Each structure stands twice: as C-alpha cells, then as structure tokens.
Chains A and B, each alone.
Chain A
Amino acid sequence: MSELTLSVTPPDTDRVARAARQAARVRRWGWWYQAEWRLFSMKAYLSSVFGWAVLVPLLYVLAMGVGLGALVDGRSGGIDGVPYLTFVAPGLLVSTAVMSFSNEMMFPVMSGFKWQELYFARAATSGSAGQVAIAELVAVTIRSLGESAIFWVVLISLGATSGGLSALMIPIGALSGLALGAPIAAYSATLANEGFQFSMIQRFVLNPMFLFAGTFYPLATMPVYLQWIGWISPMWHGTQLARALSFGLPLSGAEIAFHLGFLIVAAATGCALTIRNFRRRLTK
C-alpha cells in the first residue's frame, strides 16, 4: 500500500527527462512535423491547386502545342526533329513548376512573418528557427512534385510525351522550382512591409525568365545579347534537361552536368540563404 502512495507524485526529474526526450526528437524531426502541417493546411486550396495543375497544361498545350504547333509543323516540320507539341511540352511543365513554386514563396512567406505570424508561433515550440525555414521549403517542394506529376500525366494523355524516362521530368520540375523559389523565399523573409516588391519580381524576373528561357523556341535562335536571360533562368536549365528526358534532345555529358549543376547550386544557395534569413528574423 505504502509503495502505491509513493508512486502517485512523479518526481520532478521525470519532467526534465521527458522534456529532454521530446527535445531530442524535435531536434531530429521538427522540420518534418512542421512540413506535414504546412501540407495539411494546403488542403484548403487543394482543389484549386489540382484544378490549376490540370487546367494550365491543357490550356497551354491546346494554345501552343496544337494551335501554334499546326503552323510550325506545317512550315518547318517541327523543331529539333520533333513535332512542336512534343518540343514545347517539357518547357511548359518546367516553367509552370517554377512559376507556381515562386508564387508560393512570396506572399505566403511574408505572411508567415508579417500578418499571421505563424512562423513566430512555430519558433516558440521546441522547433528551431532553421527548421521553420526547412519545413517551408520541404512542404512546397513536395507540393511541386505533386503538381508536376499531374502535369506529366496530362501530357501523356495528350500524347505530348511518352512514358519511361520522361517521368524524371517530375523531379526536374520541382528542382527547377526550388532553384528560383528558394532565393525568392530568402528575399521575402527580409521584407518588413507590404510586398509591392512581389509584383516587381513577377514583372521583371519571372516573366522575362519565362519568355526568354527557350520555352517556345530554342534559346540559340535568340540574339546572344538576349540569351543570357535564359542562361541565368532555372527555367531554361530545367527545360533542357526535361527535353532530353522527354524526347531525347541530344545533350552531351558536360551539358547535362552544367544544367543539373546550375539548378543544384542555385537551389542549395537559396536554401542556405533562406535558413539564414529566417534565423535572423525569428531570433531578432
């Protein structure tokens, strides 16, 4: 009996040990706990994400591939030895992924600091400021993989690409998205107010990168003084890789390494800067 009474009040050391165990778990997995809920919250606009992911490729493919394609194919028998629809499809997948990723890294990131302050809420848990940043990048990368997968299925069903290797366009799309989205996230994390800067990014960064990224015709047909926009655009690097995967655009090993290297370096740098800027802001 007396033993029973003793065990009723847990000693304080229990609490300390429990907190230490929890903290150890969060040090390892905190980024994932947060990413999970970020993905769960996207549920609210899941149907619109999904609708968008189906509608955008359909519209583009119909307008560009079929409309413009009839003209191009009739005049010159396609581009790079394939019908225009086949040529343009990988570029559309990659640039849609980059656009969508980038948008998710603008207002939502600013809002996390500024309006809803959700990041501050997360930083007050066992998670660390760096994990808040990682969670954000991971969640949006996963979402981007999902969107690119839907895009790819639509392309297959329209006959714009074939199965097999072309499925690798899905990770290439997400990687290209991260390569521009992560630097944008790093920038958004430094903004103190409003965010008119975002429409500037849209107009003067995203749109030119989209239009001059060789999506609709090979970059090499442009004058050299405009080609540089493509060279610094993750859309172009991703598109070239996606073309090789989708219809076998001949790329040398060096070219593949260059495109892939560019995307990886841009993504890694962007992620590192995002983590640094989140940390600064969340421990100010």
Chain B
Amino acid sequence: MPVIEAHALTKTYGELNAVDGIDFEVAPGESFGLLGPNGAGKSTAMRMIGGTSLRTSGTLLVNGLDPETHGPEVRASLGVVPQTDNLDPELKARDNLLMYGRYFGLPYSYLRPKADELLEFAQLTDKAAEKVDNLSGGMKRRLTIARSLINDPSVLLLDEPTTGLDPQARHILWDRLFRLKETGVTLIVTTHFMDEAEQLCDRLVVMDHGRIVAEGSPASLIRQYSTREVLELRFGSERNAALVDRLRGFATRIEALPDRVLLYAEDGEESLAAVRRDGLEPVTSLVRRSSLEDVFLRLTGRSLVE
C-alpha cells in the first residue's frame, strides 16, 4: 500500500489555485521530493497531507486514511518539519521535545529517554537545558527535526529543511536525514534548491503554479529534459543576446539569460573549442554537468531561484 496517494488534489484560496489538481503516490521507505520555486504550492500540499489545511477537492490518503476525517490517527504516525521553525522560544530545548511528545499522548516514561536520544541525534546534547531563544538558526532547525521524530513517525514531512542555513549546517542536516532514510522512514521533502533535491530524493515531482510539470528520479529528469553537459558563456551583458543566433549551431539547445548564455551539449569542451574556432572569444566560460536547475529552466523558461 502506498504511504501517500493523492488524486486531483486541489486547494484554492479565493481566485488562486495554490495546488491545482496534482496526482502522486509515495511508496514506503521512499524519499520523495516536491521541487519548485516560491509559491509553487509545495507547503500547501504538505499541510494538506497533515490534515492542517482542508483541501478544496480531490482525494488524499495517508497510510490509507483521509487526514481530514482521521487527523489524529494520521498525524500520530507523521513527523512534521514546517517551513518556519515554531519551537517554543521560552522553553528549554529538551522541554520542547517533551512537550511536543506529550501532545501525541505519549507517556513521560517513554518521552524522557527518547528526548535524550533525539538530542544526541541532533548533536544538541550539550544544549539540552538551553532556552531555545539562545540557539543558532542551524541548531533550531536540528531541534525542529528532532522534535518531529519524538513520536517515532513512519513518514516525515520536511518543508524546506535547509533554507536559510549555511553550507556546513546543511551538510550536517542532510547527513541526519540519510540516516533516517536508512532506518526505513519515508521522507517527503520540499525544496527550491536543486542540489538538495539531487542529494535527498529518490524521485521527485517538479511543481510550478500549483501543477506538476515533470516527474522522475533526478538522473532520469536530467536525461529526459537536458543534455549531459552545459557550457556557460559570458560575452558581456550587451553581446549575450546578440550572439544567440550565431551560437545556435554549436549546441542542442540554447538559453539566453541576462548575464550569460547556456549551451546545452553532450560534450561541453568540444562545443567550447568549436565556438573558439568560429572566432568568438567569451569573457568567461564554464563547462558543468546538467542539473535540475536546467530541467526547471527547460520546463518553465524560468530559473528556480530568482
């Protein structure tokens, strides 16, 4: 049985279709991503899964139950990491875990050792008695993740888990999430960072304006919608657009961005050599592998992060 089954899932706010009839399924133990820019409808979809946002239409089953009619049952095996941390800043780190666990109706005899174990997991043992107000952003995020695990959930919803964190803090978090995945927890991650999606997700859907525009594993999406490599050329902002037509012959596809031109090709170095043979000398050039960013650009004509 799939952990999540969404069919024609829709949420409208007045005139706006925040989530516009999406279909997806998530299998147990899978790490599933919702990738899309701000406003794509990712958070709204996450809230509907937890039953904390009532859907406008469509069907949704979480562990076989409708979260609107069986909210307490669904949430009992769900861990939620919201987009913005909503820890109690006045309470100590450990008390935040105990309190949250209590809300799930769990006894303190279970919660006390569990809280210590999770503080360890989140590398916050030495901050157990610290007021949350005094923790850094990265620590708060880790504490929020620890909190989401207090009820030993089988499904974890992570809404932009690393937004706003520095690179080191992100890598610590990713590492923790890998370990969770290894224990069999199903991860559902939203992000607007392609590298995060590539790191964390077995499979993902690309969302834009409330719709799903593509679905697959990161590698298969790149294969399907992009070339193996990308050649990034800068000729200076005035010349970039003017040269597009002349560059067309050197690549499968071309995207002209305000600050650079992207040439999609199987072999970037070869394309670069060809461009040079043609007498064009870019100010800078860079060959890199295609990423989900390129997939998004191809699908929507826009960048993921504006």
**A residues touching B (Cβ–Cβ < 8 Å)?**
15-16, 19-20, 22-27, 29-30, 33-34, 36-37, 40-41, 44, 116-118, 120-129, 282-284
Question: Do B86 and A22 have beta carbons less than 8 Å apart?
Answer: no
Question: Known: A15-B154, A23-B73, A23-B76. Is A125-B104 also a contact (CB below 8 A)?
Answer: yes
Q: List 18 A–B pairs whose Cβ atoms lie within 8 Å, in order of A's numbering.
A: A19-B76, A19-B77, A20-B76, A23-B72, A23-B75, A23-B105, A24-B72, A26-B104, A27-B72, A37-B102, A118-B88, A120-B52, A121-B86, A122-B103, A124-B50, A125-B104, A126-B103, A283-B54
Residues of chain A lying within 8 A (CB to CB) of residue B70? 23
**Choice from B71, B72, B89, B105 contacting A33 with Cβ under 8 Å:** B105
Residues of chain B lying within 8 A (CB to CB) of residue A282? 52
Least CB separation from A42: chain B residue: B90
The distance from the CB of B243 to the nearest CB of chain A, in whole angstroms, is 49
The distance from the CB of A229 to the nearest CB of chain B, in whole angstroms, is 37
Which are the 6 A-B pairs with shortest beta-carbon distances?
Answer: A125-B103, A25-B105, A19-B76, A23-B72, A117-B86, A26-B105
Least CB separation from B154: chain A residue: A15
Residues of chain A lying within 8 A (CB to CB) of residue B53? 283-284
- Interface: B138 (CB within 8 A): no
Question: Do A128 and B88 have beta carbons less than 8 Å apart?
Answer: no
Question: Do A26 and B86 have beta carbons less than 8 Å apart?
Answer: no
Residues of chain A lying within 8 A (CB to CB) of residue B103? 26, 30, 33-34, 37, 122, 125-127
Residues of chain B lying within 8 A (CB to CB) of residue A121? 82, 86-88, 100
- Interface: B91 (CB within 8 A): yes
Question: Known: A30-B103, A120-B82. Is A127-B52 also a contact (CB below 8 A)?
Answer: no
- Interface: B162 (CB within 8 A): no
Complex alpha-carbon distance, A24 and B72, angstroms? 8
Residues of chain B lying within 8 A (CB to CB) of residue A30? 72, 103, 105
Least CB separation from A127: chain B residue: B103
Which residues of chain B (63-105) have a CB below 8 Å from chain A?
Answer: 63, 70-73, 75-77, 80, 82, 84, 86-91, 99-100, 102-105
The distance from the CB of B50 to the nearest CB of chain A, in whole angstroms, is 6
The distance from the CB of B71 to the nearest CB of chain A, in whole angstroms, is 6
Most buried by A among B76, B84, B106: B76
Which residues of chain B (28-63) have a CB below 8 Å from chain A?
Answer: 50-54, 63
Complex alpha-carbon distance, A19 and B89, angstroms? 29
Residues of chain A lying within 8 A (CB to CB) of residue B77? 15-16, 19
A-B contact sample (17 more), CB < 8 A, given A23-B70, A126-B105, A128-B71: A22-B104, A24-B72, A30-B72, A37-B102, A37-B103, A41-B88, A120-B52, A120-B86, A121-B86, A123-B52, A124-B50, A125-B100, A126-B71, A126-B104, A126-B151, A282-B52, A283-B53
Question: Do A29 and B86 have beta carbons less than 8 Å apart?
Answer: no
Complex alpha-carbon distance, A47 and B72, angstroms? 36
**Choice from B52, B63, B75, B89 contacting A16 with Cβ under 8 Å:** B63
The distance from the CB of A192 to the nearest CB of chain B, in whole angstroms, is 14
Question: Do B86 and A116 have beta carbons less than 8 Å apart?
Answer: yes
Question: Do A283 and B100 have beta carbons less than 8 Å apart?
Answer: no
Residues of chain B lying within 8 A (CB to CB) of residue A25? 105
Question: Do B75 and A126 have beta carbons less than 8 Å apart?
Answer: yes
Complex alpha-carbon distance, A284 and B71, angstroms? 15
Residues of chain A lying within 8 A (CB to CB) of residue B80? 124
Most buried by A among B50, B51, B72, B151: B72
Question: Known: A116-B86, A116-B88. Is A22-B76 also a contact (CB below 8 A)?
Answer: yes
Least CB separation from B68: chain A residue: A283
